[in-house]
Amino acid sequence: DGGITQSPKYLFRKEGQNVTLSCEQNLNHDAMYWYRQDPGQGLRLIYYSQIVNDFQKGDIAEGYSVSREKKESFPLTVTSAQKNPTAFYLCASSGRPGAVAGELFFGEGSRLTVL
């Protein structure tokens, strides 16, 4: 079945360590997104990518990095520069950019806790 797979589901990290969250989709979608959600809060956009080898910063990109080397994959690295990384991270994808229906399809999320 087509969908979006995020891993790991839960991750613990010590302060000062970089971690990479995986996001893979087999929906043949062009656009992919990373959002952060804090308890009781909405979703804030970290990075997004319309096509392979291109991505843009969202509203809270500081302390994060991404790559888009393949259409199916959009990994997110949470660097040690991110001051408050503990959060729920959601990856999403959508169809062709500018298409009539830009409905997002979400993965199950990755919950990162910094100890």
Interface ranges with another protein (CB under 8 A): 31, 33, 35, 40-45, 48, 50, 56, 58-59, 90, 92, 94, 97-98, 100-109
Closer of 8 and 97 to another protein (Cβ): 97
Q: What's the N-to-C CA distance of the chain in angstroms?
A: 36
Q: Is 102 left (phi over 0), alpha (psi -120 to 50) or beta?
A: alpha
Closer of 2 and 40 to another protein (Cβ): 40
Distance CA 21, CA 9 (A): 9
Closer of 1 and 103 to another protein (Cβ): 103
